[in-house]
Structure 1
Amino acid sequence: MNMQPKGNFEVDEDLELPLSVLGTDEEEAYGIEELFFSRTDERGVIQSYNDTFERIAGFAPGELMGAPHKLVRHGDVPKAVFWLLWNGLKAGVPVGAYVKNRTKSGKYYWVYAVASPITGGFLSVRMKPSSPLFAQVQELYQAALRDEQELGLSAEESAHRVLEQLQGLGFPTYAMFQSHAFYTEFEARRDALDVAKDPVLTSVDVITSNTAIFQREMALLARKFDHAVLLITNMEIVANKQQVGQSVLRAIAQNYSMKMRGIEGHLANVRVHEELEGIWGVSRDQNTYFLLCAAHLMEDMTAQFDDQARQVEGASKDLDTGFLHDLLNGYKDQSLTAVSQSVEAALKIKSGTEYLRELILALSNIRIACRVEMARLANAVSGLEEILTSLETFHRDVDNHLDTILTAADEIVKGVNQSMNDPAQTSQAA
């Protein structure tokens, strides 16, 4: 499967300009079980498609062959969407997007499209969107289209505005959004069809959701320790001003400081830092979602295409079957690698959590010793009571964060075990 950036890649931008023909407000219905695809050259000229696409789009047999894909473009889709689509495909990146298309008669139909680079062009598989996210996207598109029309924005300018809006929804890059959207629509479609959930996807979801909890709590814990370091510094300052108990206070502060440095270093090592660069930066977990869903989608599309009764005029079924199988195998291989990497990272989290518990337990033991000494010195040492109170609050907060972290780590291990015990995953590995 060709997923590499393409050299000397030129796009005839005119191919993606909207047609002047106005559509209607009438929707062209199709079943959620239906999938369809089209294959284009590098300029977006249609080279092949299946009969489902031809039927839904309302064109005569063979009429779409050799036509620019803009033939089914609906004017309600902002230019930003197509700018993002081409930007990704030109970089050799598979792209997922919600697209409103227009039939020959002017009706409309929505799809969630997954376009993949292939040798000599691109292949796009479409499914019917049905998740709650779909309604949010329609509102976002309406706002983007309004901005394009009222402000005269270029496609690129509009795309960057859309990216800013997605960031406001919690998606730092478009790749992060498309992975989430793909997984959401994939699961919604399976629910509608009453298809059993994929156990590997379920396991990855358990790992991913609890890893997010783990990382959030670790970040909060790190901030708590940053603040506690200031408390210990203040304790050392108080100790240096005392005539009574100075050596004891300094020893306590030094023990705290040493243990805290060890914990802070461990927190930095356990926390995952993923730099998401540009539009197509994506986290390991979200990329795993995309690849697993893509493998399943290609498998379903291939099965439907194999059962296709009618040969589309001018198309080569053998050639298209070959492209679909190449994409299917490529996504399967990549998803297997991605799942293995997720499992490996999850196991590291578990081992790191066990060591963190030991470090915090050691810090708690110092606290117990401190209580005895500080209680004896409290009346003789001015300025110590406030520090003691703050340290007690710190330890309570640490215990609460640690409980949440340990629970998340246990759930991550459950997800790992489910993934490793899944027969489908094992057969793929074989």
Structure 2
Amino acid sequence: MTAAPTHASLDPSGFESRHFGIDDIFYSRTDGRGIILAANAVFQRVSVYDWSDLIGAPHNVIRHPDMPRGVFHLMWSILGDGKPFCGYIKNKAEDGSHYWVLAVACPLEDGFLSVRIKPGTEMFRQAQQIYTDLRHRERNENLPPEASSDALLQAFESAGYSDYASFMTKALTEETKHRDIALQRPADWRLRSILSIKEGVKEIEDHAGDVVRIFKQTNQIPYNMRLQAGRLEGTDGPISVISNNHRQMTQSLADAVATFSEKSLLGNDYLIQAEFLHGVSRVQHDLLQSFGLEPVIDGQDKAQEKALLSRQQMEFVSMAHKAVVEVSDRVSAFSKICNDVRRLKAGLEMTRVMCKIERSRIAERVDGLDEIVQQLGKAQTDLDHLLSKMDGAVQQILEAAERLTQSRQRAA
């Protein structure tokens, strides 16, 4: 359970809005200066403003004093790069109440669009604590927005996130899953497929590191074999020949191991992007479903708004799918590179068999040679296990990617 905040709210007179439920979803659209051009009825109800006080007003009319300035500095930096932003925001309604949202803001050609849902996960409570601490730092240390934004990123890093993209992706995933459960909706199978690909990629990357480590360990074996050969048979005996052959093999295939290691990095950034963009498209899809049931608002072209929302939602679906395809293509190429690793493994087996043959004709006890045979045998067994695991992960990734591709083709 998250510890209680160490600081009281900076606006203790505020009370939580009773107008915002887990089933609500709302949006607003602004121009490039942040002036509200359009919104849906849920936004007007939750904010408690009259339409005449919302349309044409700056969006910061609902900004709450508890919000750290660093959050908005980060948001505008991400939007300024032409990328969508997701974050927890505390807003203030006209009646003095407050309401928290998970906002997904996206740049448009001539402005911005923000879709909001009600948060309720442990990540939300974690963000609240970070915001409270940061707002007090802004006041007590007179932090400017840029320094506050840097402090915010450091706080999320200290909380275990590699960067803000990782945090906002997980937050969006967890909040949409929480919303589906609360609304008793079936789990999002497309999200499950993306997460399955993500798990498979992590498994491959982890196992690939182990494969490279095993081959590096076997590089020492020719040297140890030469030591044994010098003691048992001189420099021109069978063990020396086996040692030289193994050394030449490992040297000639060093590039294959290096390529294997490089290509095993399958693009986790693409998967974070796919997961996030899918989440964006999900909330926009839910908004479209809800917006379609709302009454027409005077002075607002509902058909035009729906067309804009639908167009952007489909763009994010397409972008998410492209990221999945990129990873799928990399995995397909990587599975072919694994054949080089199997060739390396076959070389280890050949060395082991030849060492066993030579060991069998030596009557005396040769602990060093026995140890080399055991090392080669263990390397082969471990590689068999790892490659089997990686084959399974590759299959898991390609099947999940194929399901997503077929679904997209049917939808098109």
Q: TM-score, normalised by structure 1?
A: 0.81
Instruction: State the Cα distance separating 1:334 from its structure 2 match.
Output: 1.9
Question: Letter of the aligned partner of 1:130 in structure 2?
Answer: G
Residue among 267, 270, 294 paired with 2:263: 270
Match in the other structure for 1:279: none
Q: What SS class does the counterpart of residue 326 from structure 1 fall into?
A: helix
CA contact (8 A) 2:121 2:178 kept: yes
* Match status 1:228 vs 2:222: no
State yes or no: 1:326 paired with 2:311. yes
What is the deviation of 1:214?
Answer: 1.1
1:332, distance to aligned residue in structure 2 (A): 2.6
Is contact 1:163-1:174 (8 Å) kept? yes
Secondary structure of the residue aligned to 1:150 is helix
Q: Give the 3 Å change call, closer, same or farther, for CA 239–290 of structure 1 in structure 2.
A: same
Aligned to 1:7: none
Judged with a 3 Å threshold, the aligned counterparts in structure 2 of structure 1 residues 273 and 144 are, in CA distance, closer, same or farther, namely: farther
CA distance in 2, matches of 1:164, 1:397: 40
Counterpart Cα distance in 1 of 2:28 and 2:198:
33
Deviation at 1:174, TM superposition (A): 1.9
Would you say the 8 A contact 1:23–1:108 is kept in 2?
Answer: no
Partner letter of residue 341 of structure 1? Answer: E
TM-score normalised by structure 2 residue count: 0.84
Q: Is the 8 A contact 2:102 2:119 kept in 1?
A: yes
Shift in Å, 1:378: 10
Of 96, 110, 115, 1:120 maps to: 110
How far did 1:54 drift?
Answer: 1.0
1:317 counterpart residue number: 302
1:199–1:419 contact (8 Å) kept in structure 2: no
Residues 23 and 74 in structure 1, CA contact (< 8 A), matched pair in contact too: no
Following superposition of structure 1 onto structure 2, how do residues 29-428 of structure 1 map, counting pairs within 5 Å? 29-229=19-219, 231-232=220-221, 234-235=223-224, 238=227, 242=231, 244-247=233-236, 248-257=238-247, 258-259=249-250, 261=254, 264-272=257-265, 274=267, 283-311=269-297, 314-353=299-338, 356-374=341-359, 394-420=379-405, 422=406, 424-428=407-411
The amino acid that maps onto 1:60 is D
- Give how far 1:335 is off: 2.7
Aligned AA (1:285):
L
Q: CA deviation at 1:57?
A: 1.1
Contact persistence 1:190–1:196 (CA under 8 A) = yes
Q: Distance in 2 between matches of 1:132 and 1:368?
A: 56
| Deviation of 1:315 (Å) | 3.6
How many equivalent pairs are there? 399
| Alignment check: 8 A CA contact 1:350 1:413 kept | no
Give CA deviations for 1:85-143 in whole Å, capped at 9, x if unaligned. 00011111111111111212222211111111112110101111233322222233233
Is 2:23–2:183's contact at 8 Å kept on the other side of the alignment? yes
Structure 1 residue 385: Cα displacement = 6.4
Shift of 1:273: 5.8
Query: What is the alpha-carbon distance in structure 2 between the residues aligned to residue 206 and residue 81 of structure 1?
Result: 31
Q: Quick one: distance in 2 between partners of 1:112 and 1:378?
A: 75
C-alpha deviation, 1:242, in angstroms: 4.0
The alignment yields a C-alpha RMSD, in angstroms, of 3.1
| CA shift in 2, pair 1:252/1:208, >3 Å | same
C-alpha distance in 1 between matches for 2:171 and 2:98: 21
Per-residue deviation, 1:358: 5.0
Provide closer, same or farther for how the CA distance between residues 131 and 251 of structure 1 changes in structure 2, counting only shifts above 3 A: farther
More divergent stretch after superposition (296-305 vs 44-53): 296-305
In 2, Cα distance between equivalents of 1:358 and 1:181: 44
Q: 1:79 is aligned with what amino acid?
A: R
8 A contact 1:72–1:102 mirrored in 2: yes
Provide the secondary structure at the position in 2 that maps to 1:196: coil
Report how far residue 390 of structure 1 moved.
5.3
SS in 2 for 1:346: helix
| 1:275-312 superposed Cα distances (whole Å, 9 cap, x missing partner) | xxxxxxx811111112222223222212222221151x
Unaligned 5+ segments in structure 1 are 1-19, 275-281
Contact 1:74–1:108 under 8 Å retained in 2: yes
Contact 2:35 2:56 in 1 (8 A): yes
Report the counterpart of residue 6 of structure 2 in structure 1. Answer: none
Cα deviation 1:362-406 (Å, max 9, x = unaligned): 423432333443566696879666666655554554444334323
Higher relative contact order (CA 8 A, sep 6+): 1
Contact 2:35–2:59 (8 Å) recurs in 1: yes
Identity over aligned pairs, percent:
27
Letter in 2 for 1:126: R
Partner Cα distance (1:139, 1:379) in 2: 71
Tell whether the 8 Å contact from 1:207 to 1:346 is kept in structure 2 after alignment: no
Report if aligned partners of 1:100, 1:111 keep a CA contact under 8 Å in 2: yes
Q: CA deviation at 1:189?
A: 1.5
Compute the displacement of 1:353 (Å): 4.0
CA contact (8 A) 1:28 1:108 kept: no
Deviates more, 1:85-94 or 1:185-194: 185-194
**Residues in 1 aligned to 2:232 and 2:350: alpha-carbon distance in whole angstroms:** 27
Q: Distance in 2 between matches of 1:416 and 1:132?
A: 30
Q: Describe the shift of the 1:69–1:32 C-alpha distance in structure 2 as closer, same or farther (beyond 3 A).
A: same
